[in-house]
Amino acid sequence: MKILSALCACASLMLSVSAMAEVVVVVHPSNGVTMDSGDISRIYLGKLKSFPGGGPVVPLDLKEGSSTRAAFVDKVLGKSESQLKAYWSKLVFSGQGQPPKSVDDAEMLSLVASNPNMIGFVDAANVNDTVKVIARF
């Protein structure tokens, strides 16, 4: 009986991982930037302070606990939530950087739509025509 229970739990976990929503990276519609996952990762880790074309970039993050954020951190940054928190704690403590501002989904779209220097990410299902999708994960 314990084996059956363990198999059901394992199958449930696999299904929930495969059912993860698609995460999209968005910018202001007037922003003509093209970026790969490496560029996006460097921006969100504070290693790149401008868009590839040279304009300043202001990354926005979703609040902790968001499943979209967890997927982004895993797929794009290649870290766990705890690893990312430790990474930023070290940079903040040493005075080498500040993490991106955390906002909710609605605020993310609103801020990106109003500022060509901002970049953000949301669940693909939440995208509207006020922003431009530049990457999908």
Position 14 scores a pLDDT of: 44
Position 53 scores a pLDDT of: 85
Position 115 scores a pLDDT of: 97
SS3 9: helix
Per-residue pLDDT of the chain (137 residues; tens, 9 = 90+): 545 444 444 444 444 444 567 999 999 999 999 999 999 999 999 999 999 888 999 999 999 999 999 999 999 999 999 999 999 999 999 999 999 999 998 899 999 999 999 999 999 999 999 999 999 99
Position 130 scores a pLDDT of: 97
CATH fold of the domain at 21-136:
D-Maltodextrin-Binding Protein; domain 2 (3.40.190)
C-alpha distances in Å from residue 127, one per residue of 10, 51, 86: 32, 21, 30
Query: How many Å apart are CA 28 and CA 33, to the nearest integer?
Result: 10
98, 104 Cβ separation under 8 angstroms = no
The domain ranges of the chain are: 21-136
Regarding pTM above 0.85, the answer is no
CB atoms within 10 A of CB 93: 8
Position 1 scores a pLDDT of: 52
Position 4 scores a pLDDT of: 44
